[in-house]
Amino acid sequence: MTDSEVILIKTASEMAQALEVRRAVFIDEQDVPEDLEIDEYDGDPALIGTALHVLASQDGEPVATGRLLLEAEHGYAHIGRVAVMKQHRRRGHGTAVMEALHELARERGFEGITLAAQLHAIGFYERLGYTVRSDVFLDAGIEHRWMDLSLALT
């Protein structure tokens, strides 16, 4: 396990730190175009009512992030943009981010979570209880499959 601290992002400067992590992981490492990576859910958290973002830090340094979109389909919220800085992977930060997002979803009464998993990350999500529900599709040129988690089962 890790000693990472995970916070619900409330300020524009915390949001900027989360976007630095996403830039390093998705834009620089995975070559996702910036105009696809950053979208309408990524503004000032004080003004955006449709998404919650979390930030994990270790020794004051931002290391991981993820977001929960609150526009539910059939009672399921949507988790996305889960990213851990390369040098900090496999130390539990990704799990800590997911658990914080699950808790936020539970508090808001969602029945479950849906997400689009990059194929390499399916094992990570399966370990958290998610199951695959779709064939492979392309998003930003990267292969994904839809996965679901019922929060009633966790």
How many chain residues are in contact with ligand COA, going by CB under 6 A?
Answer: 18
Provide the minimum distance between the beta carbon of 146 and ligand COA in the complex, in angstroms, as a whole number.
Answer: 11
Which residues, including other chains, have CB under 8 Å from residue 86's CB and lie 6 or more apart? 24, 25, 29
Query: Nearest approach, Cβ of 90 to ligand COA (angstroms)?
Result: 4
- Distance CA(33)–CA(20), nearest Å, equals 15
84 is a contact residue toward ligand COA (CB under 6 A): yes
State yes or no: residue 94 binds ligand COA (CB under 6 A).
yes
Count CA within 13 A, CB hemisphere, residue 92.
8
| Interaction of residue 101 with ligand COA, rule CB under 6 A | no
Question: Is position 123 an interface residue for ligand COA (rule: CB under 6 A)?
Answer: yes
Question: Does residue 58 belong to the site contacting ligand COA (CB under 6 A)?
Answer: no
Task: Work out whether 93 is an interface residue with ligand COA (CB under 6 A).
Answer: yes
CA dist., res. 91 & res. 76, Å (int): 28
The Cα-based distances of 36 to 33, 62, 102, 103 in angstroms read 5, 22, 25, 27
User: Per rule CB under 6 A, is residue 124 in the interface with ligand COA?
Assistant: yes
Smallest distance, ligand COA to C-beta of residue 61, A = 14
Nearer residue to ligand COA within complex by CB, 47 or 138: 138
Query: Is 122 buried (19+), middle (13-18) or exposed (0-12) by CB count in 10 A?
Result: middle
Of positions 49, 120, 135, 138, contacts ligand COA by CB under 6 A = 120
Helix or strand or coil: residue 9?
A: coil
For residue 84, what are the β-bridge partners?
64
Interacting residues toward ligand COA by CB under 6 A:
25, 82-84, 89-95, 117-118, 120-121, 123-124, 127
